[in-house]
């Protein structure tokens, strides 16, 4: 069953709780599809009036900020052994290569890595624990965490919600035949561009 179809079967309060908990756990350092849940819930809110987008965005923001804060505390206390343990439990996400990439981002950007990490799937999982392990001053982490959480969670909810409303009104004006034709044109264009890119790659490499 698709995520959005499943969400339609549960009460609004459960959707709010699910979004907050999943995003909180993801921000804490557990690889979960927080963004997928948030986007699906925001789309659902645009189609069903019983889900309030403001409450949804607030729950997502709270989960993001609280989860990252707990992750920071755990990382600060657990240190490097924590990263080694996570690497064993989640080798696909916490491999040495991923950790090294995240560390370079932190060393280069500092608190901005926490802020912009919200918008990057890999850094969103790493941000809290890694900031704690690297002993980033808490006040810097807190500022980046709160601002990033508000902008990512609240912004994503607002954008997807309004896009969903606009898309629904457009779909009502066009027939299903027109919709299928639009999809086919889009897929064909994508395939043509992909084919051209493959042909151009050897020429660029030769230069």
Say if residue 196 is in the same domain as residue 137. Answer: no
Q: Taking all residues of the chain, what is their mean pLDDT, rounded to a whole number? A: 76
Say if residue 169 is in the same domain as residue 152. Answer: yes
Residue in the block written with tokens 């020429």 = 203
Say if residue 36 is in the same domain as residue 25. Answer: yes
Say if residue 93 is in the same domain as residue 190. Answer: no
Say if residue 36 is in the same domain as residue 125. Answer: yes
Q: Which two tokens stand for residue 71?
A: 């992750």
pLDDT tens digits, 11-25: 888 889 999 999 999
C-alpha to C-alpha distance for 35 and 124, rounded to whole angstroms: 10
Say if residue 107 is in the same domain as residue 199. Answer: no
C-alpha to C-alpha distance for 115 and 113, rounded to whole angstroms: 5
pLDDT tens digits, 48-105: 778 899 999 999 999 999 999 998 998 888 777 777 776 676 666 666 776 777 677 7
pLDDT at 149 over 80: yes
Say if residue 169 is in the same domain as residue 182. Answer: no
pLDDT at 1: 46
Q: Number of folded domains in the chain?
A: 2
Q: Is the pTM of this model over 0.75?
A: no
Nearest to 27 by CA among 152, 137, 138, 136: 152
Q: Domain span at residue 140?
A: 3-173
pLDDT at 109 over 80: no
pLDDT at 134: 80
Alpha carbon of residue 16 to chain centroid: 16
Say if residue 193 is in the same domain as residue 155. Answer: no
Higher pLDDT, 204 or 10: 10
C-alpha to C-alpha distance for 187 and 202, rounded to whole angstroms: 24
pLDDT tens digits, 158-178: 888 887 766 555 544 544 444
């Amino acid at each position: 069953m698709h995520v959005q179809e499943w969400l339609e079967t549960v009460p609004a309060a459960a959707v709010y709780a699910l979004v907050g908990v999943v995003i909180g756990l993801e921000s804490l350092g557990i690889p979960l599809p927080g963004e997928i849940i948030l986007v699906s819930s925001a789309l659902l809110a645009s189609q069903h009036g019983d889900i309030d987008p403001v409450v949804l965005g607030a729950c997502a923001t709270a989960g993001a900020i609280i989860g990252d804060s707990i992750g920071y505390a755990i990382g600060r206390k657990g240190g490097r052994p924590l990263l080694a343990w996570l690497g064993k439990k989640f080798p696909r996400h916490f491999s040495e290569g991923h950790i090294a990439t995240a560390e370079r981002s932190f060393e280069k950007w500092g608190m901005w890595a926490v802020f912009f990490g919200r918008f990057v799937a890999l850094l969103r999982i790493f941000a809290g624990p890694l900031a704690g392990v690297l002993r980033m001053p808490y006040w810097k982490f807190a500022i980046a965490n709160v601002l990033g959480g508000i902008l990512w969670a609240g912004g994503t909810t607002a954008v997807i919600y309004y896009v969903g409303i606009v898309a629904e009104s457009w779909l009502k004006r066009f027939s299903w035949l027109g919709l299928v034709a639009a999809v086919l044109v889009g897929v064909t264009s994508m395939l043509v561009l992909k084919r051209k890119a493959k042909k151009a790659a050897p020429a660029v490499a030769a230069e």
